[in-house]
């Protein structure tokens, strides 16, 4: 009989506030900050410091394999949010509803840059595959792909005024693309190192670039007039002075500003009003520049020129050497030449405590502040800083919901209601069900821990060799005991619950007994422990484990051996040899029969504790095995490793049951619930994940087949002919290509269309035969194919075509053979009569004609079909266009009519509505501030004058 096992699946992930792989952005209202937390996006309420919503892809919508981290984000002027992922996909979210509206597949590498245009109708994305793709955010489809960069795209920005796109890359070049003609119209060189970030001011006057060069480079943006000529910025020379070759020059070098920091630039961003520019480096500082307006910059230029003249007159023969300034004698008067140093002035330098990962300006400026700047730090922390006219100050921070560094150990209480995690400077107590942080206690570098029976206290072993005793209820450290001369590597509870044993790098194993003591001057007793005995070893102790029956203790040493001793007499019993590298984790089964050890040699060994024989050696992980735990009262066990995987094994059959993917970095630790209904893992990615046992059964043979299928389907692009064929050539300058890419979904969609066409053809033949039988007098009832769900052949094919995602339609039709494409064209004429399908029919017709133009022209039977389709479809498209135009004109007329009869403002309705909402929010915040101020004064009054009696 084949045995069925119960499946474990990811249930919750917590402990990550912000991951450093992605940027942070504010939403359009400025109330919420969007921070990527590995594969999720947290929407944080800035004032409350709470995560109000989490955007995470549904498991069903995920492709096979591990969940992939968010690498880039962008927010539009509406509630739309775009997030790019490590495998190249882009998801569009509705932040108000918290749902994923669509998934766009086009890039073959991680998405490195995302940007919406001002209207939010277009989305541009750059990737590690060196390509830029322009997406229709409304139609949820890719428009075209721009190729030309020789290295990954690092940043991009829209020039909305001229319908241009500027992109930056690691290849040290800037490229300006014309979105109407879809070609590269300008390439800008001059940077000596990779360009990491670019941005433009809201008025689109200047573009700034940041690289590893010691200066920021500025470019003046020339805007295009209706006649196709270019006009320079008003701070530059007149149009008449432009040479003829400048017709295609959109960006012109304006000057440079020396940076203070020697680190490379990570991000440059203007705030929404355009009066501030922030330059974040790949370190701990942000340089903030003031952007002076036209009158201020001209006054500064005049002062500079007058000082130059005075200096020149006082020191005859000396020439001014300031970079970028010429013809000083010709300057002056009422219209001096303004340089970049006259417009951009260093305002302040903001320094953070840790390395900064990303910055974002709030779109809403508070009163008495120039701006609010949000920082994400690489230690899992968000900070908010106020930029004032004379200084910068830290407003608040979001830090309690996660560890600042790796999670080194996780421990569950006996009733599974509490979870303790340790890190380099803090201990946190969690609710493992909800993922909420209940307590945060400052501590040393905790390497291991356990809950004391009763779950009122916990013990933590630290890297400094101390034992810290934690009162779980109050969240305080009640005692610190100097336990070992080296780090406490492992801690294990004795089976009787009266004490515990510790293993250390000082070669000692110590046995401890719990005690309740009362310090002088304190009213209550607290827990501590005193050593009862010790065992000296020959090498560093890495792991200690006690058998549940209290008979043995197992000790893993740095010399790659495991030694087993009798617990009562501490006499030597067995030595387990076999691992080539030190054993990093081990556990003993509930019945005491088996010991499982995991090692740095990537192997797991199953030992029998009766004779010390190795039952089986399993190649478990692609890197060191860091944790192993038996499921209570079974011989099933879990392992975790540095290869980011969690694996479920059967120790009797020596077989891998499940592989659980979810972590984004090395998994350090593992905890198992008493009932075996869930496990908890902690990782280098600072996340804590819970995996729940479900009621869904699975069989080993089925899982083996799934793993084989995933191996074959993991990389569709690397098929045999692609893998061994000629490599793709470097694209030509400014090449344009299709936006989408071939995926498993597009191939499945192609198969479904072919299947629908075949079924419809067979049904049409059956209908024809039935009609012939009727004419011959053979009357019989026609029974339609039950698989067609009661639909006609035409409607059934239309149903299959309509189910294809808008963004996948192009690649789906590309994989369609010509014979099936011809069949599909024959159905389009009848579908065009449905007014709601005109857009789909038109797109399919254009794509099929473009893809199979040569075959259609040379196929005689296809010519009349194309002729009829072109006539009917053009008329239907014009009819639909006329209806939409009539409706728009009617709505515009209604607006004008209502505006003439009322005092209400109908122009810029959205802007006015946002102003009203902002005003109401401001009043609400002022009321809250007033209430808090009153409460503070009341408390102050009570503390100053004692209790107020009525």
The confidence score (pLDDT) of residue 316 equals: 52
Mean pLDDT taken over the chain: 85
Phi/psi for 47 (5° steps) reads -70, -40
pLDDT given for residue 734 in this prediction: 60
Whole-angstrom distance, CA of residue 752 vs CA of residue 787? 13
Sign of the torsion formed by the C-alpha atoms of 209, 210, 211 and 214: positive
Q: Is the per-residue pLDDT at 732 higher than 90? A: no
- Band of residue 932 on the pLDDT scale cut at 50, 70, 90: confident
Which percentage of the chain shows pLDDT scores above 70? 88
544-572 confidence digits (pLDDT tens):
999 999 999 999 999 999 999 999 899 99
For the CA atoms of the chain, what is the radius of gyration? Answer: 35
Q: How many helices (H) and strands (E) does the chain have?
A: 12, 59
pLDDT per residue over 341-352, tens digit each?
889 999 999 999
Average pLDDT over residues 483-507: 94
Confidence of residue 865 (pLDDT cuts 50, 70, 90): confident
Tens digits of residue pLDDT in 692-722: 999 988 888 888 888 787 777 665 445 433 4
- Spatial distance between the Cα atoms of 666 and 726, rounded to a whole number of angstroms: 37
Weakest mean pLDDT among 77-91, 220-234, 424-438, 796-810: 220-234
Give the pLDDT confidence score for residue 98 in this predicted structure. Answer: 87
Give the pLDDT score at 630: 95
The strand ranges marked E within 746-905 are: none
Per-residue pLDDT, 701: 85
In this predicted structure, what is the pLDDT of residue 950? 32
Whether residue 869 has pLDDT greater than 90: no
Model confidence at 747, pLDDT cuts 50, 70, 90, reads confident
Model confidence at 786, pLDDT cuts 50, 70, 90, reads confident
Higher-confidence residue of 847 and 636: namely 636
Q: Which whole number is the average pLDDT over 457-475?
A: 94
For residue 483, is pLDDT > 50? yes
Identify the pLDDT of residue 914. Answer: 66
Chain centroid, CA 302 distance in Å:
48
- DSSP secondary structure of 550-599: SSEEEEEETTS-EEEEETTT--EEEEE---SS-EEEEEE-TTSSEEEEEE
The average pLDDT across 289-316 equals 82
**Structure-token pair, residue 641:** 């490793």
Phi-psi sector, 311: left (phi>0), alpha (psi -120 to 50), beta: alpha
Q: At 349, which helix (H) or strand (E)?
A: strand 344-351
> Phi first, then psi: what are they for 635, rounded to 5°?
-110, 20
CA 237 vs CA 55, 224, 679, 840: distances in Å? 49, 16, 69, 50
Q: Considering only CA atoms, which of 595, 565, 597 is closest in space to residue 578? A: 597
Question: What pLDDT digit, counting tens, does each position of 28-72 carry?
Answer: 888 999 999 999 999 999 988 899 999 988 764 444 456 789 999
Residues in the chain, overall count: 950
Q: What percent of the chain has pLDDT over 90?
A: 51
Task: Indicate the range of 62-71, 92-101, 131-140, 766-775 predicted with least confidence.
Answer: 62-71
Closest CA to 706 of 7, 2, 1: 7
Q: For residue 187, give the 3-state DSSP assignment.
A: strand
Q: What is the pLDDT of residue 301?
A: 86
Q: What per-residue confidence (pLDDT) applies to 159?
A: 92
Q: d(Cα 752, Cα 824) in Å, to the nearest integer? A: 13
Q: What are phi and psi for residue 380, nearest 5 degrees?
A: 65, 50
Nearest alpha carbon to residue 672 among 692, 653, 652: 692
Closest C-alpha to 277, from 393, 387, 121, 394: 387
Which single residue is written with the structure tokens 């003829």?
A: 244
Residue 503 CA neighbour count, 13 Å, CB half:
24
* Of 755 and 788, more confident: 755
pLDDT at 237 (0 to 100): 39
pLDDT in the model for residue 775? 81
Q: Is the pLDDT of residue 660 over 60?
A: yes
Burial class for 891, CB neighbours closer than 10 Å (0-12, 13-18, 19+): exposed
Q: How does residue 321 score in pLDDT terms, banded at 50, 70 and 90?
A: very low
Out of 509-513, 612-616, 907-911, pick the least confident.
Answer: 907-911
Q: Which residues contact 63 (CB under 8 A, 6 or more apart)?
A: 87, 743, 744
Tokens describing residue 183? 């070609």
């Amino acid at each position: 009989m084949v045995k069925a096992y119960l499946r474990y699946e990811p249930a919750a992930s917590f402990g990550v506030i912000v991951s450093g792989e992605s940027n942070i952005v504010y939403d359009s209202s400025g109330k919420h900050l969007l921070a990527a937390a590995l594969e999720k996006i947290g929407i944080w309420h800035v004032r409350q410091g709470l995560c109000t919503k989490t955007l995470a892809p549904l498991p069903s919508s995920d492709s096979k394999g591990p969940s992939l981290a968010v690498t880039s984000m962008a927010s539009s002027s509406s509630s739309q949010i775009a997030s790019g992922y490590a495998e190249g996909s882009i998801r569009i979210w509705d932040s108000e509803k918290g749902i994923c509206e669509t998934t766009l597949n086009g890039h073959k590498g991680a998405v490195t840059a995302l940007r919406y245009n001002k209207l939010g109708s277009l989305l541009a994305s750059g990737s590690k595959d060196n390509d830029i793709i322009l997406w229709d955010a409304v139609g949820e489809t890719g428009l075209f792909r721009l190729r030309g960069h020789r290295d990954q795209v690092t940043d991009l920005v829209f020039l909305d005024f001229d319908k241009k796109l500027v992109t930056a890359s690691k290849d040290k070049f800037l490229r300006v693309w014309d979105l109407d003609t879809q070609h590269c119209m300008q390439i800008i060189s001059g940077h000596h190192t990779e360009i990491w970030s670019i941005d433009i001011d809201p008025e689109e006057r200047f573009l700034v670039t940041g690289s590893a060069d010691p200066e920021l480079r500025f470019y003046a943006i020339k805007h295009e007039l209706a006649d196709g000529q270019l006009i320079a910025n008003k701070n530059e020379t007149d149009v008449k002075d432009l040479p003829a070759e400048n017709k295609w020059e959109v960006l012109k070098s304006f000057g440079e500003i020396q940076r203070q920091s020697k680190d490379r630039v990570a991000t440059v961003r203007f705030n929404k009003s355009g009066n501030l520019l922030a330059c974040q480096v790949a370190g701990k500082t942000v340089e903030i520049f003031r952007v002076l307006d036209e009158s201020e910059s001209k006054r500064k230029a005049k002062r500079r020129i007058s000082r130059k003249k005075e200096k020149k007159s006082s020191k005859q023969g000396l020439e001014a050497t300031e970079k970028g300034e010429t013809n000083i004698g010709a300057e002056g008067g009422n219209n001096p030449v303004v340089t970049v140093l006259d417009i951009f002035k260093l305002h302040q330098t903001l320094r953070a405590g840790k390395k900064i990962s990303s910055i974002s300006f709030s779109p809403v400026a508070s009163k008495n502040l120039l701006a609010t700047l949000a920082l994400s730090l690489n230690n899992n922390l968000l900070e908010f800083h106020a930029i004032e006219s004379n200084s910068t100050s830290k407003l608040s921070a979001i830090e309690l919901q996660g560890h600042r560094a790796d999670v080194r150990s996780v421990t569950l209480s006996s009733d599974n209601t509490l979870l303790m995690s340790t890190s380099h400077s803090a201990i946190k107590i969690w609710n493992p069900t909800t993922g909420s942080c209940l307590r945060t206690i400052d501590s040393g570098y905790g390497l291991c821990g356990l809950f004391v029976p009763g779950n009122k206290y916990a013990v933590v072993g630290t890297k400094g060799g101390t034992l810290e005793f934690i009162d779980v209820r109050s969240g305080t450290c009640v005692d610190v005991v100097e336990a070992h001369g080296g780090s406490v590597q492992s801690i294990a509870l004795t089976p009787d619950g009266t004490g515990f044993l510790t293993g250390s790098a000082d070669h000692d194993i110590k046995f401890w007994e719990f005690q309740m003591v009362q310090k002088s001057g304190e009213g209550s007793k607290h827990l501590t422990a005193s050593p009862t005995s010790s065992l000296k070893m020959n090498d560093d102790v890495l792991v200690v484990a006690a058998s549940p029956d209290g008979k043995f203790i197992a000790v893993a040493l740095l010399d790659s051996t495991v030694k087993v001793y009798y617990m009562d007499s501490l006499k030597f019993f067995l030595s387990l040899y076999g691992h080539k590298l030190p054993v990093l984790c081990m556990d003993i089964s509930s019945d005491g029969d088996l010991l499982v050890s995991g090692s740095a040699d990537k192997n797991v060994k199953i030992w029998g504790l009766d004779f010390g024989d190795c039952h089986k050696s399993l190649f478990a992980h692609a890197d060191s095995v860091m944790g192993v735990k038996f499921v209570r009262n079974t011989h099933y066990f879990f392992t975790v490793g540095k290869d980011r995987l969690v694996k479920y094994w059967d120790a009797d059959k020596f077989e891998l049951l499940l592989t659980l993917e979810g972590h984004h970095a090395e998994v350090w630790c593992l905890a198992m619930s008493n009932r075996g209904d869930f496990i908890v893992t902690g990782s280098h990615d600072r996340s804590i994940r819970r995996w729940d046992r479900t009621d869904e059964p699975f069989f080993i043979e089925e899982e083996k087949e799934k793993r084989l299928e995933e191996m074959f389907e993991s990389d569709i692009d690397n098929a045999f002919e692609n893998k061994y064929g000629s490599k793709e050539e470097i694209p030509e300058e400014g090449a344009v290509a299709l936006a989408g890419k071939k995926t498993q979904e597009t191939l499945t969609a192609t198969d479904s269309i072919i299947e629908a066409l075949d079924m419809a053809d067979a049904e049409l033949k059956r209908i024809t035969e039935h009609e012939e039988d009727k004419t011959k007098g053979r009357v019989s009832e026609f029974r339609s194919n039950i698989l067609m769900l009661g639909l006609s052949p035409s409607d059934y094919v239309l149903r299959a075509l309509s189910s294809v995602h808008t963004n996948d339609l192009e690649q789906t039709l590309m994989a369609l053979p010509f014979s099936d494409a011809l069949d599909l064209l024959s159905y389009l004429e009848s579908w065009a009569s449905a007014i709601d399908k005109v857009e789909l029919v038109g797109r399919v017709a254009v794509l099929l004609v473009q893809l199979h133009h040569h075959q259609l022209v040379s196929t005689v039977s296809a010519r009349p079909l194309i002729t009829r389709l072109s006539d009917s479809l053009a008329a239907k498209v014009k009819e639909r266009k006329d209806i939409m135009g009539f409706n728009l004109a009617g709505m515009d007329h209604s607006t004008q009519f209502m505006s003439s009869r009322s005092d209400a403002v109908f122009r810029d309705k959205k802007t006015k509505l946002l102003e009203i909402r902002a005003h109401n929010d401001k009043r609400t915040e002022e009321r809250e501030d007033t209430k808090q101020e009153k409460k503070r004064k009341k408390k102050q009054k009570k503390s100053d004058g004692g209790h107020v009696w009525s």
